Amino acid sequence: MTLEEQHLVKECINGERKAQKALYDMYSRQMMSLCLRYTKDKETAHDLLQEGFLLVFSNIDKFKGDGMLEAWIRKIFVNCALDYLRKYDILKETVDIDDDKISEMVDESTISQISATELMDCIKSLPEGFRTVFNLYAVEGYSHKEIGEMHGISENTSRSQYMRARHKLRKMISEKGIY
């Protein structure tokens, strides 16, 4: 953690508005990007951004400083996004598929040949359950077991949702002629 971040954290703990604004300015862009990955529209993402920063500022005294501040903030935002998705029961209609069918759906070369912006646009258009599992696994690095525990679904359901998301992404990319 940088000296600037240490100073901001101390001032935020003391309720200093200027420090809170500086911390917001420092991380709001990355956190807005994270929120957009879990929602379909900017309005909901903006609501999550505000809610996430409220949680950051109300819990900043719990940050121990033994890791990166950005990672701590990111974890709060991921949990905030997941709470939103749980509230609307986004993963309630998930279905398991068998591993043979999964392996037929995966084509590594298609997804690896497009730009990050093009991929993000495609990810945004995924159904919420697919998008959530895809983000948690591919972007945030959670295991299928962890994702299953977070959402009360089986590890296989998480895996199948991820593979279906990849298949749907591949299909969207092919249809758009991106690669």
DSSP string, 41-110: SHHHHHHHHHHHHHHHHHHGGG--SSS-HHHHHHHHHHHHHHHHHHHTTTTTT-----HHHHHHH--HHH
Question: Distance between CA 59 and CA 68 in Å, rounded?
Answer: 15
Taking the model in full, what pTM does it have? 0.67
Question: How much is the pLDDT for 11?
Answer: 95
Tell me which residue of 70, 89, 76 sits closest to 48, measured CA to CA: 76
Question: How much is the pLDDT for 172?
Answer: 84
| DSSP secondary structure string for all residues of 133-164 | HHIIIIIS---HHHHHHHHT--HHHHHHHHHH
Mean pLDDT, 10 residues at a time, over the chain (179 residues)? 87 95 95 89 93 96 89 93 79 46 43 66 85 89 90 89 89 71
Residue 15 DSSP code: T
Question: How much is the pLDDT for 1?
Answer: 73
- Cβ 97 vs Cβ 160: under 8 Å: yes
Question: Distance between CA 152 and CA 60 in Å, rounded?
Answer: 29
Question: How much is the pLDDT for 18?
Answer: 96
Question: How much is the pLDDT for 61?
Answer: 94
- Cβ 31 vs Cβ 80: under 8 Å: no
Question: How much is the pLDDT for 113?
Answer: 55
